[in-house]
Amino acid sequence: MTLLAGKKGIVMGVANDHSIAWGISKLASEWGADMVFSYQNVLLKKRVATLAESIGCFDAVVECDVSKEGHIKQLMDFAAKKFGKIDFIVHSLAYSDKKELQGPYYNTSRKNFLNAMDISVYSFTETCREALPILNEGASLMTLTYLGSQRVLPNYNVMGVAKAALEASTRYLAVDMGKHNIRVNAVSPGPIKTLAASVIGDFDKMLQCGEKASPIHRCTTIEDVGGFACFLMSDYSQAITGGVHYVDAGYNIMGMSEEI
């Protein structure tokens, strides 16, 4: 398995073995990549370190709460010390107060709006900027988004607005980073049962709807996302940048389900 042999990168957003970031990491490791991992806070340190070691990444975890000044720079310094230069970054994190992921969107508070934007959107911009000195030419950076950026999904609320901003950021970053022959993309999976998803009101309905209405009638898995992310990290996607790429069994193309 040599698709990613010799490639080194950073994975942000592993919380447990259900995380999308973990699905990506497992596949990337199978294809030969070496990685460092950031964890949000000390409560996650041991779990993330154990997962990293299970795929052969030792002494490879560092704390990075993206809302804290200087943490993203520290992550880059850690990766630089371990690898010198790197070839990919996976940014797989988002946050909103769970109380605001239900009911009307207009109830979003200023505090949560700004916090959601800071953690879920601005952090990717800061990551790209701080990473620039340690990126190899041809590097591939990716973030995780969701269809709620383009369409209204009940209860997704401020997170939909944040994902719209994240997708716009991806396009601006693709132009800036393109000058250095570095690619920036957003991957948009269908609903997957993870820790972050479990706080969205009526999330099970999103899962059921995805399975029922998508052209191939199946849910998305973290391995589905991992496979596509590995393609984006690989040299076979050198001409792909600035895009939002759906990995959702085709759900995004539907205007109306065949089954009602």
* Residues binding ligand NAD (CB under 6 A): 13-15, 19-21, 40, 64-67, 92-95, 119, 144, 146, 189, 191-192, 194-197
Cα–chain-centroid distance for residue 79?
Answer: 18
Residues near 214 by beta carbon (within 8 Å), at least 6 away in sequence: 190, 248, 249, 250, 251, 254
Record the tokens describing residue 180, joined without a space. 């250095």
Structure letter (DSSP) for residue 19? S
- 236 catalytic? Reply is no
Q: Which is nearer to ligand NAD, 83 or 251 (CB)?
A: 251
- Considering the complex, what minimum distance in angstroms separates the CB of residue 6 from ligand NAD? 27
Of 39, 95, 156, 246, which is the active-site residue? 156
**Residue with smaller CB distance to ligand NAD, 40 or 108:** 40
Instruction: Give the closest residue to 192 by CA, choosing from 224, 235, 151.
Output: 224
Query: Are 86 and 138 spatial neighbours (Cβ–Cβ below 8 Å)?
Result: no
Closest CB to ligand NAD among 21 and 161?
Answer: 21
Residue closer to ligand NAD (CB basis): 132 or 197: 197
The nearest distance, CB 67 to ligand NAD, in angstroms, is: 4
The SS3 call for residue 142 is strand
In the residue annotation, 122 being an active-site residue is answered as: no
Nearest to 154 by CA among 101, 97, 207: 101
Cα(37)–Cα(141) distance, integer angstroms:
15
Q: Which is nearer to ligand NAD, 24 or 33 (CB)?
A: 24
Q: How far is the CB of 250 from ligand NAD (least distance, A)?
A: 15
Q: Which of these, 131, 128, 140, lies nearest to 232 by C-alpha position?
A: 140
Let me know: does 65 contact 41? Beta carbons within 8 Å.
yes
Q: Which of 39, 95, 106, 146 is catalytic?
A: 146
Sign of the C-alpha dihedral, residues 105, 108, 113, 115?
negative
Residues designated as active site: 146, 156
